[in-house]
Amino acid sequence: MIRITRSIAIDDKEIKMDFIHASGPGGQNVNKVATAVQLRFDIKNSPSLSNDICERLIRLAGRRVSREGVLVIQARRFRSQERNRQDAIDRLVKLIKEAVKRPNPRRSTKPTRASKERRLNTKRQRADIKQLRQRISPQE
């Protein structure tokens, strides 16, 4: 059981981990041991998450989510399999915690009278500057 918040916990059976060969440093160990972790979490079919959290999680994860709604996290930062496994789980927990936070609704506001006047004054000043740059017509 992976505890996300007080009310949300994900069962270990919902997460599938595959171990793959990692690129990068590690010497001969890279060729022998599959240390990188590929974590898969089916967002759409998860009984632990509500629908609105699922939608926010899919939006937050972006292209890490497949068309079927499976989140794929690859962890290959460390040389050991255990540290990469923990890194992948930590990243999943962090992403879900972010999705749990409900965004504040945007309240539309109108510009103040002073801000409208400031904007118009700067527009007038720019127009005057540009007017002074124009060629002076010869007076007859």
Check: CATH 3.10.129.10 for 2-100? no
Please report, for the chain, the start and end positions of each structural domain, with discontinuous segments joined by +.
2-100
Q: What is the pLDDT of residue 24?
A: 62
State the average pLDDT over residues 2-14.
Answer: 76
Backbone angles phi, psi at 48, to 5 degrees: -80, -25
CA distance 41 to 69: 9
Counting residues of the chain whose pLDDT is more than 90, the rounded percentage is 19
Q: What is the pLDDT of residue 115?
A: 96
Task: Label residue 70 by pLDDT band (50, 70, 90).
Answer: confident
pLDDT digits (tens, 9 = 90+) for 75-100: 888 877 888 888 888 888 888 888 88
Q: Give me the chain's average pLDDT, please.
A: 83
CA distance 93 to 86: 10
Q: What is the pLDDT of residue 26?
A: 61
Q: Name the nearest CA neighbour of 57 among 21, 102, 18.
A: 102
Q: What is the pLDDT of residue 38?
A: 85
Q: Please say if the pLDDT value at position 136 is more than 70.
A: yes
